Structure formats: C-alpha cells, structure tokens
Amino acid sequence: MKRNLYDADHDLFRETVREFVTREVAPHRERWDEAGLIDRSVWSMAGSLGLLGIDAPAEYGGGAVRDYRYRMVVIEELCAADSASFNAGLSVQDDLVLPYLIELASPDQKLRWIPALCAGTAIGALALTEPGTGSDLQRVRTTARRTPDGWILEGQKTFITNGVLADVVVVFARTDADAGAGGFTLFLVDTTTPGFRRGRKLAKLGLRGNDTAELFFDDVVLRDADVLGAVGGGFGHLMERLPRERLSIAATSLASAQSAFDWTRAYTRERTAFGQRIDEFQNTRFVLAEIDTELDVAWAFLDRSIALLDAGELTAVDAAKAKWWLSDLQQNVVDRCLQLHGGYGYMLEYPIARAYADARIQPIYGGTNEIMKEIIGRDLVR
C-alpha cells in the first residue's frame, strides 16, 4: 500500500537522515552495542543537521516545525538501519525531555537547556521509574522537601534511558505526602550538581547500545528556579505529555516491524531449501502475505494517530490504543520473521535476532500494555 503521509519536503529530509545514518550511525552500531554506550559526537552531528529539536522554537535553536512526520522519518531510517539503540536515545530527547522544556520551562530554563539539547551538545533524560514502582507513579518515594532557600531532593531512580550520558534530568518527586495526585513536582537537575550520582549502567536484553542507568539523589540542593512547571503540578504535567511519549513508542514499534519484514522478505528470496527459494514455499508466502496486510492496516492507523497529534487532538485513550496495539504487533511480526530465518535468525550477527531482543521492551515501558488496556477499558465503562 502506498502511504500518502509525506510530501516533497519530507522526502528531502529523509535523504539527509539516510545519509547521516549510513555514514555516522550504522558503521558504529556493533561497537556501541559492545560498549553499552553511544559516542557523544554522533549526538552533536545529529544536532548540526537539524535532526534534534525539530519542533523546538527557532529562537532556541530548534526547527520550529510542529509536524511529527519529520520525527517519523528519523525513526523509520534508524530502525531500517538496525540502529534501535540510538533511536531510543533520540526519542527520549525529542519526544520526552524537550516537550517538557518547550511547554513548561521558565525563560531562563529554556535559554539554558533547549539550545544545547537541540544542538546535541547536551543530552537529556526523564527520571520517573523507581525500584518497586514501575507504572504506578503515585507510589514514588523520591522526595523534595522545602527549605528556606529552595528544596532538598532525595531518592533513587532506575531504568533511566540516557542515564549515563545525561547532562540534565527531569525528575519526578513527591513534594506533599498528603496531597494525593497534587503532591508531586517536576525538577530540572543539572547532573553536575553535588549529591547527584549515577549508579550501575544496566545490562539489558535488548537496546544494548543505549545507556540505561540507576540514578541517585543524595540531598541534592535545588532552587525554586529548578522547579519545572507548577509546584504540585507534576502528575498532571506527566499525564498531559504521555500521549506523545506513547505515540513515539508506537511509531518505533511499527517502523521496527516494517524493517523486520523487509529484511525477511529479502532473506527468503535469497535463501534456498530443498532445491527452491524459501519464498516459493506456500507457507512462506502465506506468512509474508499476513504480515504485509497487517502492516498496511497498522500504517493507516498510525498515520491517523500522527495527524491527530499534529492537530492537538490525540487523546490519552487514542495513544494507549496505538501503544498497546502496535507494540504487540511488533512482537508478533518479529517472531514470525525470525522463524522464517530458521537457525540463522537466532544468531546475533543477523539483524532479525537483535530486533527480536530490542522489541521486547516496547510493551513494557511508557506504561505496560496492561495499563494501556486499563486506560481504554475505564474510558469505555466510565
């Protein structure tokens, strides 16, 4: 099915992204996976080409283009090049951290951080999850207590993408134990601040090139100027921005599934068994036909969701549906594609094996798919 999502400007942008990925990303993927860390230099290269901060205001170094289709181009090209780890890092920067700063930061906070994040000379992280909390953010134990001069931040976060490289972290903390959902606040923490420290760089099943870490806040002294948004408004600020985060996960899921299918279609055309090409077996053709049709349907769904996001009409329920359905589809597609590779599909030298491992996090982070179904179900019976 031919997609009508993109116009000539998106196609020109894709050429830039593809050249960058081919030259600066793909040759280093294996080394990054082994190190569990991506070179900082590639971030600044991405920034210099305008691949970061696409919708950030021009006065802060952004592209000033409120059009998620450009982000979609970046996601598609990185997934096609088997560069899911770098995609994960960029997605946190552009779909999680920068929207908080663009929409909630004070003028001073914007001036300090947005230009550097857009240029790729600074890297951001979002610190929500804690040991024992997972998707239940109202149980977080990290606290920020008032002082005459500001705040003292104390606690621990885990599973933080970009945690090793981050220069600034958006931290979700409890500021009033008796205020329920109104008892949480967001803070901007410069990682050079005394009391901030990084724990382990976590060893993961997939996305092995991306740095995921534990973060600790040991009596970190903050000012009122480090509050992001409103005091007590942290939970609401998260809920307002979760649709974009979840759409980002959905977009990555579908782009990854499409790449897995494309690799598999080429593989079955090249490999032979019992004297004929693998794609000449009826079972292979049926599996490929099923996946191709499922992907066509899924792209139509995702393209509609992107249009809703750009129009400011993507609801939390819409985003939950996209995140759940497309991340589950990714699991199903990648599993069937690996099966068609036979024993080679189990070898890490083949991208389908790495895609299989990378895919498994998608139904978990950004809120588990069980939580997505709960959001949808509550809306149906409300």
- Pair (25, 159) in one structural domain: no
pLDDT greater than 70 at residue 2: no
- pLDDT tens digit string along 75-91? 999 999 999 999 999 99
Active site residues: 245
Q: Residue range 252-280: average pLDDT?
A: 97
pLDDT greater than 80 at residue 326: yes
* pLDDT at residue number 242: 93
**3 lies in some domain:** no
* Last residue in a domain, options 232, 260, 282: 232
Name the pTM for this structure: 0.96
Report DSSP letters for 76-92, one per residue.
Answer: HHHHHTT-HHHHHHHHI
CA distance 363 to 359: 8
- Pair (275, 346) in one structural domain: yes
On whether the CB atoms of residues 350 and 341 are closer than 8 A, the answer is yes
Average pLDDT over all residues of the chain: 96
pLDDT greater than 80 at residue 155: yes
- Pair (331, 374) in one structural domain: yes
CA distance 79 to 85: 9
- Pair (258, 334) in one structural domain: yes
- Pair (245, 364) in one structural domain: yes
Q: What is the dihedral of CA 279, 282, 284, 288, to 10 degrees?
A: 100
pLDDT greater than 90 at residue 216: yes
* Last residue in a domain, options 196, 211, 232: 232
- Pair (153, 113) in one structural domain: no
- Pair (184, 168) in one structural domain: yes
On whether the CB atoms of residues 241 and 235 are closer than 8 A, the answer is no
* pLDDT at residue number 136: 75
**307 lies in some domain:** yes
**253 lies in some domain:** yes
Give backbone dihedrals phi and psi of 148, rounded to 5 degrees, phi first: -60, -25
CATH of the domain at 165: 2.40.110.10
CATH of the domain at 102: 1.10.540.10
- Pair (167, 296) in one structural domain: no
* pLDDT at residue number 382: 86
Question: What are the Cα distances from residue 234, in Å, to 104, 115, 174, 187, 241?
Answer: 11, 24, 9, 9, 11
Q: Residue range 155-179: average pLDDT?
A: 97
What is the residue range of 15's domain?
8-122
Identify the DSSP state of 33: H
- Pair (133, 217) in one structural domain: yes
- Pair (37, 146) in one structural domain: no
- Pair (273, 364) in one structural domain: yes
Cβ neighbours, 10 Å, residue 23: 10
Domain count, the chain: 3
Closest to 339 measured CA to CA, from 284, 293, 299, 376? 284
CATH of the domain at 289: 1.20.140.10
- Pair (149, 46) in one structural domain: no
pLDDT greater than 70 at residue 1: no
